[in-house]
Structures are given as C-alpha cells and as structure tokens.
Structure 1
C-alpha cells in the first residue's frame, strides 16, 4: 500500500488521519482515570480500527538478520510490550534516536499482538499520551470477549 502525505504542513498520512481522536481520548483518561473513560478509549480504538485506521509500528533494528521484528519495550515488571504510535509527532517525542517504522492496520497489529507468545500487549505512544493495552483489553476491542 502506498503511503501519501496529504499536506506538508499537517504531515498526516491517510491511515493516521483520525487518530487525533484517540490521542484526545487517552489524554482525557489520563486526566480522569475511570472505568467509564477506559471504556470510551477502547470504543475509540475499535472505531478507528473499523475505519481502517493505522498505527506506526517501531521495528527493532538489532533483529535485522531475523527479518522484520517489532520493537518491544520491557516494563519494570519484566513484561514485554510492542511500541506503536498514533502519529509521526508522537513517534518523535522522547525518542533518543531515529527509529525504523512501518504502518500497520490497527486491527492487524492488535490481532497479532494478542497471538504472539512473550508479548503482553501494546503500548500506544510510549513517550506521551500513553495507553497500555494488555491481551485482555485487546480481546475486548476485537470483540473476542
């Protein structure tokens, strides 16, 4: 699939257009953590998935010999999470180096993360407006539960 940037000023790819709604929902959840706000965020993720929305997925450059390997972040509890981003701006925040990335449909990355052994889920925007989706929340979004 060919990625096109609509306008140099807004630097938004068609697959990412609409993800600002997800960023806003995550920010609202951070300001007012509650089950209701979490349910709202999960609904927005599901809507973006159904609209054909995409995430930017970070690739682990150290695993180049093994083929495409998604970058995993280890949390303090020792669990591994894939890093995904809602926009190019979010990708650049806090990152100490240039990352290799690709774009993937939200549904596809959620489904894959839910099936891969050793991965606890995904972290959306690990530097800012962060949301951790474990396999239980992923299954809720996908409608498996």
Structure 2
C-alpha cells in the first residue's frame, strides 16, 4: 500500500497520463495479490453498511483507505478490512455510485467505474478516456468523429464546423458515400484538419423511446470499430445528438461511457486513446461526474 500512496503523491506532482497508468497498474497488482483496503462502515437497522461520500456535484462515491494512518486523518469511524478485488467488484456492481475515492482526507484519488471495469476485465490500461472542453476541429490526433446528418453533406453545429475547418474537399468526398443511416459510420480523409481522418456517424433525434439508446450506442461502437480497421489509435468524439437533436446530456453521458468501456473490453488487445470533446460547461460537468474527482 505504501507504493500506491507514493504513486498517488507523484501523480499530484507530475500530473501525467503515464503516472496515472502506474497508479492503475498498481491497484490491479494489489487486487491480484489479494491485498486489502480499509473500508469505513456505519450501522443501519442493525446491519453494517459501507459509508458513502457525497461530492459537491451530487454524486455519491464509496470510500476506501490504504492505511490506518489515512483513516486517522478524519473523524473516528468504525472500519473493516476488505480485499481490493472485492471492493472493486462492490463499487462496480452498486447502482447509484460513480466510483470510489481512495484516501479522501489527503492526496485523494478518484477511481471511476469506467476505470474499475478496465482493471477488473484486465483491459489494456494504455487505453485512455479523457474529457476536453474545446473545439474538436483543433484535435491533433488520428481521427475526429463528426456528428453528421444522413445526407453527409454538411449541416449546423459541429457538422458545419468540421466541414468549414476541413475545407471543400471533404464535402466532395462525402458526396461519394451515398449518405449514412442512423447509428452507422463512414470514414473520409481529414483534408485541412490536423486529424488524418474524419469518421461520420449519424446520431438519433431524441424521441424518448428505447431505440434512441441503441442507436446512440451504435454511433460510438461502430465509429470505434471502423477506427480500428484503419489503425487509428487516437480519436476525438463530440457529444453526439446532445445538441439540436435533443438527447438529454444526463442520459447520454453514462450510456456513452458504458459503451466505450464495453468496446475497450471487447478490444483489450488494442490501444485506443479517446477524447470526449464538450461544447459547454453542462456537458463537461456531466462527464466529469463519472470520470474525475478533485480532492482537497
């Protein structure tokens, strides 16, 4: 556990993706070695229950400590020892919590469900999911995803922005693709963009029906699958259907993250670094509920 604490402290100092991968790898190692976390518990109707912490944004998380010294930094509480593996499974399987915070009183580290799933399923930890507030057309990577309409001939919002940034040759190539059905994906060159490729996918117009979920999931899944066929390892997504198509952000975000986690699970032999670009504070904060925690 001392090594895990040291790595988390180094992560605070360096803030690099590589150091975060070391933290995740160490947690996986501790789980396989059957090491234990210290878990705070309370009493509810005569039964022991795991204590939760409510974050400022309203999300609930479980709490775990690496050492008794970390426990003693906060208020006195009853605790029990539980294997790292069991804690990860508990957090992963519990509805209504977004992850677990390690050592919340000092040098805290938030482990969201999407990363817990990567650890439990032995996924490639070199894969990455990050949230970016900004202009997706500036993405300097292999590919950006365009939230297109079925004609693929350009439109408003991010679709129009990508066509403007890529230049007129993008439209000329799109004319050769004969459109695209909702949930499907097609690929073109990036032309004047920094990205080498553009993957065009058509999100659902939100109706509140169950089919919306399936089609939105297909957008992300099919885009990632197409990206792999073209040996793409860095890709940027907009918030598909969350603009003029009316898909509620609070419904889309957990679905998107679950879809990405499932795809990474099914493609554990392939490294994919995924940037989720957000166009406003609302979308950014919704993603950050599930993917990040800023400790004090």
Partner of 1:11: none
Partner of 1:137: 115
Indicate yes or no: 2:88 matched with 1:110.
Answer: yes
Partner of 1:33: 15
Partner of 2:38: 56
Partner of 1:45: 27
For residues 74-119 of structure 1, give each alpha carbon's deviation from its aligned partner in whole angstroms, at most 9, with x where no partner exists: 00110001111000001111x13x1010000000010110010011
Give the Cα separation in 2 of the matches to 1:66 and 1:143: 35
Give the Cα separation in 2 of the matches to 1:131 and 1:27: 10
Partner of 2:186: none
The correspondence for 1:69, drawn from 49, 60, 66, is 49
Cα 1:50–1:76 shift into 2, 3 Å = same
Structure 1 residue ranges without an equivalent (≥5):
1-18
Displacement of 1:34 in angstroms is 1.7
The correspondence for 1:87, drawn from 67, 75, 84, is 67
The correspondence for 2:101, drawn from 99, 123, 128, is 123
Q: CA RMSD in A?
A: 1.2
Give the Cα separation in 2 of the matches to 1:121 and 1:100: 21
Give the Cα separation in 2 of the matches to 1:66 and 1:83: 21
- Greater relative contact order (Cα 8 A, min sep 6): structure 1 or 2? 1
Find the residue that maps to 2:50 and give its secondary structure.
coil
Give the Cα separation in 1 of the matches to 2:8 and 2:46: 34
Find the residue that maps to 1:24 and give its secondary structure.
helix
Find the residue that maps to 2:97 and give its secondary structure.
coil
Q: Compute the TM-score of the two structures, normalised by the length of structure 1.
A: 0.81
Structure 2 residue ranges without an equivalent (≥5):
123-264, 266-296
Structure possessing the higher radius of gyration over alpha carbons: 2
How many residue pairs get aligned? The number is 123
Find the residue that maps to 1:68 and give its secondary structure.
strand
Give the Cα separation in 1 of the matches to 2:118 and 2:13: 23
Q: Is contact 1:57-1:103 (8 Å) kept? A: yes
Runs of 4+ in 1 over 4 A off after TM superposition: none
Give the Cα separation in 2 of the matches to 1:128 and 1:50: 26
Give the Cα separation in 2 of the matches to 1:143 and 1:37: 21
Displacement of 1:49 in angstroms is 0.9
Displacement of 1:143 in angstroms is 2.1
For residues 4-56 of structure 1, give each alpha carbon's deviation from its aligned partner in whole angstroms, at most 9, with x where no partner exists: xxxxxxxxxxxxxxx00100111111111121111110000011111111000
